[in-house]
């Protein structure tokens, strides 16, 4: 159930090891929340101890925090897994891999493996969630996308292409589900300071995981279907996405 304040009783994170996914779930957990599930590969109860402690410290009501094993690359298991979760109000789709563009450039199989998880997994899991929420007649899907998919840069065009595909899929899914009582929100952060990006040079307008989580919470309260974090990136990419290729290739961005 979701109340008028856009608070959720049952929250699921697909990609339960994602630092950003957990931060968003933690920010959206309120006294109204009853259950939070982190779903990821080979997760055990020990993987959620710190997260559970964080949520318990901010909750004045009984809260169940648990983990489930979920593999984004095992497409055949997705519908059964989602159906086994019971009542769900919010699903945060947060799984994905960054990969090393240079290495993947010379290893096509590894590039295809990344595409399989980042795009194929999102399609499979996204549709499984959509089917379940449609049967419920309500619910909300949040896809953690990226500005990397708006116009792929040469330094990460393989990863960027997966985010572009996922973003387009989520837009279409949102249109299909709108008449059925199910909402879809797409989050487009820029560079995020997280474990996955450690050691990389930050891009302009970089944000912390906490800033992204706050941006998601604010965007959901305002009923936005696309959330840019920070919000200035919406204007930046409205220009970058239409630049002539001759100009784009001369820009001092990798």
Average pLDDT, the chain: 93
The verdict on pTM exceeding 0.85 is yes
pLDDT in tens, 134-145: 999 999 999 999
User: Which domains, from first to last, does the chain contain?
Assistant: 10-248 (3.40.50.720)
pLDDT at res. 1: 64
**124 to each of 75, 76, 94, 129, how far by Cα in Å?**
6, 9, 14, 9
105 catalytically annotated = no
Averaged pLDDT for residues 114-135: 97
Spot the catalytic one: 8, 70, 143, 159: 159
Residue 169: band (very low, low, confident or very high) from pLDDT cuts 50, 70, 90: very high
pLDDT in tens, 43-64: 888 889 889 988 887 766 789 9
Please compute, for residue 164, the number of CA atoms within 13 A of its CA located in the half-sphere on the CB side.
13
Residues 6+ apart with CB under 8 A from 31: 59, 60, 61
Closest by Cα among 136, 142, 18 to 88: 136
């Amino acid at each position: 159930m979701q109340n008028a304040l856009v608070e959720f009783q049952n929250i699921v994170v697909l990609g339960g090891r994602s630092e950003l996914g957990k931060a968003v779930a933690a920010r959206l957990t309120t006294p109204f929340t009853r259950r939070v599930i982190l779903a990821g590969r080979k997760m055990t109860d020990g993987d959620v101890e710190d997260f559970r402690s964080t949520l318990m410290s901010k909750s004045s009501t009984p809260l169940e925090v648990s983990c489930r094993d979920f593999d984004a690359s095992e497409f055949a298991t997705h519908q059964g897994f989602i159906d086994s979760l019971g009542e769900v109000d919010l699903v945060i789709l947060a799984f994905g891999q960054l990969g090393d563009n240079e290495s993947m450039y010379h290893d096509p199989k590894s590039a295809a493996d990344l595409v399989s998880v980042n795009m194929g997994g999102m399609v499979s899991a996204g549709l499984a969630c959509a089917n379940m929420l449609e049967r419920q007649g309500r619910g909300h899907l949040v896809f953690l996308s990226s500005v990397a998919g708006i116009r792929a840069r040469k330094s990460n065009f393989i990863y960027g292409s997966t985010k572009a595909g996922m973003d387009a899929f989520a837009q279409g899914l949102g249109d299909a589900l709108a008449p059925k009582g199910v909402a879809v929100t797409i989050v487009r952060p820029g560079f995020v300071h997280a474990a996955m990006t450690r050691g990389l040079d930050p891009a302009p307008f970089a944000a912390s995981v906490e800033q992204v989580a706050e941006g998601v919470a604010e965007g959901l309260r305002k009923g936005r279907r696309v959330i840019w974090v920070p919000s200035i990136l919406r204007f930046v990419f409205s220009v970058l996405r239409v630049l002539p290729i001759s100009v784009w290739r001369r820009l001092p961005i990798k």
